[in-house]
Structure 1
Amino acid sequence: MSAILNHVDTDDHAPAAHAADGRPSASSNSSSSLSCQGFSGAAALVDPRRGSKGKREDSAKSDRTGDTTLFDELLLDLKGKPDSSRIRNRKRKLAAAAILRGLSPVPGSTGRGRSFTVCICGKFTRNDKGGDLIVESTAAGKTSVRNSQFCGSVWTCADCVTHIGITRGTFVQKATAALRGAGYRVVMTTMTVPHKLWESCGDVFDRLKAAHARLDANGSYRRLIANRGYIGRIRVIEVTHGASGWHVHSHELMVFAAPAEDTSAKADTAWAVDFQKSVFPIWDSIITKVANGQHASETHGFTVVPVWSDTDYVAKLPEQAEKRTAADEARKDAGKKPKQRWGADAELTKAHIKQAEKGGRTPWDILDACYAGEKADINLFIDYAKATWNRNSFETTKGLRELLAAMGVEIGSDLEIIREDPDFVFADEREDDGDQSIIVIERVLVDRDSQANAHRAAPLWLELVRHDVETGKALMLAEAMREHGFRLEMISAGHHVPSIVDITAPKGADYDPDRAVIAGHWEPDVWRATFDLPTVEEA
């Protein structure tokens, strides 16, 4: 991991990250402070609100060779834990923040594009809510953060891509079921562009976007899809890396008017094959223009497969889908869960858990490899992050949105999705922890000034606190906060709030005190945490 730290410390003038309210969330040392040097370097910092820009820059430069022990220890401990879904996300998010801290997606920018937002994701209070950052711990030793501003990056943030991907997947699943149920024809298309090993991710990305723009504007293509009853599409862009370099491709769920009568499996497949043969020459001619004379792959350049249901597509014909539906119903009747299948919703929204084909790697695989300190992998991820910054990964056309809205199926933007605190629990946690994973025993409130001050002193303070609780280094959340420089004041002590309920009476029956039992819920310890930077005199 030290290779990551040493590699990124190259830009003496890299801009600092910004907090959720637009003010600097760290002094200039955030541009180099990949090491989580605890608060050992706090004495060298001057409160940025007191001025002295030169001193701040000097301290930032001196921190570039600072102690990285705590950061290495944090990642080392996470590597040693069972690779649960949450720990895997934590590792990837930490690695992304370590690699990208101090780098700018738009060099020279003083506003948007000054820094990668994954570096401060989840560390500051949301602008639209204000108030305190809420850190909680459960009886199972798990921690969570609420009321925080998430970055919303599906490209670089493992937490946000999980949150957004779940919502998108539900939307695509409902949309496919509604459209197929109403008789509309739905197909999945995949589009790829030629690429070379030495090309940057940005170059290949631009080539695909240019090809998309030319296809959408092509008169022959527009007439072809109009004649087939085209209504709209959902387009998703994915990125992988393999032996031939960066592979940027798109998947589209295309919706066409309902056929005059029900079609058989053979007819559905024949329609998709005919559509592919009709579009491929147009796509190939476009590729020759955007790829310097290279041609589209006849095998993978433009492919079309029918989508029959929300859980079956590709070579799964309608009769097979019907058999699987019947099998799922039988499992439900037997008290078992239906089998999970890779459907259109997964293909479009679960790039973060896919396995790349033919020895290729997803960006998340590359992040996992960065723990080994391979400089080539670090450079790959930086190239990918800069190429995908400010790019859309999920697009829905207006016509399809309106049709789905009329069917009661809607989805908000990524920013609207992440405004809601994630409330899902990973499947592997349900099995391991039971009810203890949801019983909150401690809650710590951190005000906005303390959030900013702690981030200036040590950008990874929140990860360190959560790490200490989840690895058992600190028995209680309050203890971990104190260990990392916070002052805590108890607001209220934890206590049980009883309630009398009648759990045996049928609905509508009169209350019978003989059947009543005492139930209730646990109110956690609530603390107020504050953090102050040293004054100029103290420094």
Structure 2
Amino acid sequence: MSPESEIFGFIRALEVTHGENGFHPHVHMIVFTNKETESGLLDFVYYRAWVRACRLAGLPEPSRLHGCHVQDGSFAADYAGKWGIEDEMTKANQKQAKNKGLTPWGLLRCILDGDDLDYPPKRAIGLFLVYSAAFKGKRQLYWSNGLRKLLGLQKELNDQELAQKADDEAAYTLATITVEQWKAIRKCKAEVMILNIAESNPLLITSVINNFVLSSGDAGPHSMGEGVPFYGGRGPTR
């Protein structure tokens, strides 16, 4: 790295998907540098570091094409400006993996829906258990030391501090959604509509959910039963 180049810090997100070649853990990073540092230089430095890490771990050497991919700052600025850095770096659960692969939460959807031939519920359960055991205690998002202060951001709260932090608004139970009802809502692609109704007219939630169950073609009783609580409050419903 030339004397003019300087790295101030980085944000690293740890992700994993599962596909035809098994689990694919990988890292996404935003690296903060001075303007003299070019993307080609970072590509050279990080690829060599990745090759060394794989070799020391007893893994095959990654290919030059797929082992490390660096894009310039304009790419990072576009999505970080649109979504916010933390939202973009941690929204992997909403992304679709390539080549019919699945994210961990995609595995959970397979367990719930039971209609994926490549990932039947029994297989999806086993794979999710493997994922959860391997990633327990791992940080999905990591800021290098001093970067938040350099960017003028407040200190990141740890889990205990977040748990002790007072809620911003009062919350109360609007309804309790059963697994069957949630499957019906998803089948009708009505998740956003449910949130909008919960915010604008929460008294309609029960009847609207039951109507979605009927519309989905599901048979059987549709009264609100045991399931997952659905909360509302004075602000936007979550």
TM-score by length of 1: 0.30
Q: How many residues matched?
A: 184
Q: Which residue number in structure 2 is paired with residue 432 of structure 1?
A: 197
Q: Match of 1:395?
A: 142
Aligned partner of residue 108 in structure 2, secondary structure: helix
Q: What is aligned with 2:129?
A: 382
Q: Tell whether 2:22 aligns with 1:255.
A: no
Shift of 1:364: 0.6
Structure-to-structure mapping, 1:508-527, within 5 angstroms: none
Higher relative contact order (CA 8 A, sep 6+): 1
Question: What letter matches 2:12 in structure 1?
Answer: R
2:74 alignment partner, SS class: coil
Residue 274 to residue 397, structure 1, CA distance change in 2 (3 Å): closer
Aligned-partner Cα distance in 2 for 1:354–1:411: 25
Paired residues of 2:79 and 2:88 also in contact (CA < 8 A): no
Query: Cα deviations across residues 272-324 of structure 1 (Å, max 9, x unaligned)?
Result: 123213432343233223234x111212211211233876159xxxxxx9xxx
**Letter of the 1:302 counterpart:** C
Query: d(CA) in 2 for partners of 1:369 and 1:347?
Result: 24
Q: How does 1:349-364 map to 2 (within 5 A)?
A: 349-364=90-105
1:417 aligns with 2:162: yes
Q: Is the 8 A contact 1:430 1:437 kept in 2?
A: no
Aligned counterpart in structure 1 of residue 17 of structure 2, from 210, 235, 240: 240
Identity between Structure 1 and Structure 2 (%): 26
Partner of residue 48, structure 2: 281
Seen in structure 2, the aligned counterparts of structure 1 residues 408 and 365 have a Cα distance that, compared at 3 Å, is closer
CA shift, 1:370, in A, is 1.6
3-state SS of 1:367 partner: helix
1:413, CA displacement in angstroms?
2.3
- Show the counterpart of 1:306: 72
- Please list, as runs of the form range in 1=range in 2, the aligned pairs for 1:478-493 lying within 5 A after superposition: none
Equivalent pair of 1:305/1:313 in contact (CA under 8 Å): no
Maintained 8 Å contact 2:17/2:104: yes
- How far apart, CA to CA, are the structure 1 residues paired with 2:93 and 2:111? 17
Corresponding residue SS for 1:305: coil
The RMSD of aligned alpha carbons is 3.7
Where do residues 336-355 of structure 1 align in structure 2 (5 Å cutoff)? 345-355=86-96
1:367, CA displacement in angstroms?
Answer: 1.0
Query: What is the deviation of 1:229?
Result: 1.3
Structure 2, unmatched stretches of 5+, are 115-119, 172-190, 205-221, 227-233
Distance 1:368 1:360 in 2: 13
Q: Distance in 2 between matches of 1:279 and 1:385?
A: 28
Residue identity in the other structure for 1:279 = Y
| Structure 1 residues 351 and 296: CA distance shift in structure 2, 3 A | same
Mapping of residues 25-424 of structure 1, within 5 Å: 224=1, 228-257=5-34, 259=35, 271-292=38-59, 294-308=60-74, 312-313=78-79, 345-371=86-112, 372=114, 374-404=121-151, 407-420=152-165, 421=167
SS in 1 for 2:142: strand
What is the distance in 1 between the residues matched to 2:128 and 2:41? 39
- State the secondary structure of the residue aligned to 1:378: helix
Larger radius of gyration: 1
- What is the alpha-carbon distance in structure 1 between the residues aligned to residue 196 and residue 75 of structure 2? 30
Aligned partner of residue 383 in structure 1, secondary structure? helix
TM-score, normalising length: structure 2 = 0.62
